[in-house]
Structure 1
């Protein structure tokens, strides 16, 4: 995904699909500088490229040291240098990759990024919440047996921690239908040691695979999968009654 590099500090900032810059608490990139307006500028992913727009800031938005007119929008390229309110505190666009699904903790800390549009929280080792696209390309979130719509900027609570979802909505970055990770399209493969002490889970959809590693709780999933197969093959139970 796209990255802004602060040249003075070396701080790296990942860009959401619509990235507001300014002093306001609502800004994705919050700058504590009196020369920066409350809502100073906007970085957006539009037509497969990143663009920069000045939001009528008092002290200007600068691209390659040139001031943008109030409301002006300019396309960006990797290596472009941007400044907000002052030319002597620049940022550089180090990557112009498309935005990816991600979640940021409201209390600070490192964001969690999706792997092939599959976002697992709090992490892929012990996922309590999974965010993915359904068969029609809409974002959904799954928590156990519960499935509900997921929306960009939504707050979700997991194990006492609150996360904000950042979900791309542009049709330009929608996954191809055959690669959408829906429940019906996903296959789960269990790799079990002879003594069943180690269970590895591999999730596959389309030509993609995601190795979830070896963990103790995978044995519980294996047990449930075996019960589901037994109910389906031996007992002939309907799908919602299996397992």
Structure 2
């Protein structure tokens, strides 16, 4: 992500995709104390593949001691930014990487860079899950499942953190287009041993490309959820309600606790994410889970069960 460092204090600033600077500390992302600075002095925005400084000030902004004459300039690593001709506060560009989602503990100026699928603080101590579903962000904690929005407060390790998705318009639109109807091009295959001790999962694209995930413990979760979809279909339950299972039922059947379940789900999402599967494999709502809607076939011995989307 884009990062600036205060030249005097060495404090780091993680850039939002559009990041404002100025004396108006209530409305700017980073406050400036110099009286020569404007209330809304400038913004730094990620445009295309570049961080661009756009000057809105009365007295000017300086990059490497040169005034930004055209009101905008592309930034490079190691550039020095100052906000008045007398110097004052200055910042060094440490990183020009694209925007990334992050959590920040503002009282300690600590931050956690996020990916599209996160288990926090780690797999051994899973307290919460944060992930991107289609082009929305979701937080899961215990039985709570809710959408996340920019500037939402999150409690992690008994401390308060603020969430910044750092999505760009181009990123959101591309993600939405890529996800449309693409799930129909895949079929999920389960190969189950006769004693059901081993579950192999693979995905076949309609161009015959086969991706084999092998035998994993967390595949048992997908198998149980897939069978619930088949059961609900046989009961003529509406398609929109196929497959939901209560968390307690699933943990009881698997013989694991909620933390262990969350770790398994994180690993499932991570595996599917790595192959750029167009949706998360498991959906959640309050106290329930289900296999995401997709065609699948379960093979056990000489029997095949299939679920095909309408």
TM-score past 0.5 threshold: yes
CA RMSD of superposed structures (Å): 3.5
Give unmatched runs, 5+ long, in structure 1: 179-206, 208-221
Q: Do structure 1's residue 169 and structure 2's residue 170 form an aligned pair? A: no
Q: Do structure 1's residue 33 and structure 2's residue 34 form an aligned pair? A: yes
Match runs of 1:60-71 below 5 Å? 60-68=60-68
Deviation at residue 72 of structure 1 after TM alignment: 1.9
Match runs of 1:35-50 below 5 Å? 35-50=36-51
Residue of structure 1 equivalent to 2:141: 143
Deviation at residue 227 of structure 1 after TM alignment: 8.5
Deviation at residue 171 of structure 1 after TM alignment: 4.4
Give unmatched runs, 5+ long, in structure 2: 180-210, 212-216, 233-242, 251-310
Deviations 1:95-145 (CA, angstroms, capped at 9, x unpaired): 110111101124334111114x22445x2353433222113x222222234
Runs of 4 or more off by more than 6 Å in structure 1?
224-234
Distance 2:76 2:102 in 1: 23
Residue of structure 2 equivalent to 1:54: 55
Equivalent position SS for 1:87:
coil
Residue of structure 1 equivalent to 2:244: 240
8 Å CA contact 2:6–2:90 kept in 1: the answer is: yes
Residue of structure 1 equivalent to 2:99: 99
8 Å CA contact 2:16–2:99 kept in 1: the answer is: yes
Distance 1:50 1:227 in 2: 43
Residue of structure 2 equivalent to 1:21: 21
Deviation at residue 63 of structure 1 after TM alignment: 1.7
8 Å CA contact 1:101–1:119 kept in 2: the answer is: no
Once the two structures are overlaid, the 10-residue window that deviates more, 38-47 or 84-93, is 84-93
Distance 2:35 2:48 in 1: 33
Judged with a 3 Å threshold, the aligned counterparts in structure 2 of structure 1 residues 41 and 120 are, in CA distance, closer, same or farther, namely farther
Distance 2:149 2:227 in 1: 38
Distance 2:74 2:30 in 1: 19
Judged with a 3 Å threshold, the aligned counterparts in structure 2 of structure 1 residues 75 and 227 are, in CA distance, closer, same or farther, namely closer
Deviations 1:42-96 (CA, angstroms, capped at 9, x unpaired): 1111112111112224x32112222235x92222122222111243543221211
Residue of structure 2 equivalent to 1:187: none
Match runs of 1:155-234 below 5 Å? 155-158=153-156, 161-173=159-171
Once the two structures are overlaid, the 10-residue window that deviates more, 138-147 or 224-233, is 224-233
Once the two structures are overlaid, the 10-residue window that deviates more, 12-21 or 94-103, is 12-21
8 Å CA contact 1:113–1:119 kept in 2: the answer is: no
Deviations 1:161-199 (CA, angstroms, capped at 9, x unpaired): 432211122144458659xxxxxxxxxxxxxxxxxxxxx
Residue of structure 1 equivalent to 2:278: none
Residue of structure 2 equivalent to 1:111: 111
8 Å CA contact 2:99–2:167 kept in 1: the answer is: no
Distance 2:67 2:225 in 1: 68
Judged with a 3 Å threshold, the aligned counterparts in structure 2 of structure 1 residues 228 and 62 are, in CA distance, closer, same or farther, namely closer
Deviation at residue 17 of structure 1 after TM alignment: 1.1
Distance 1:139 1:65 in 2: 40
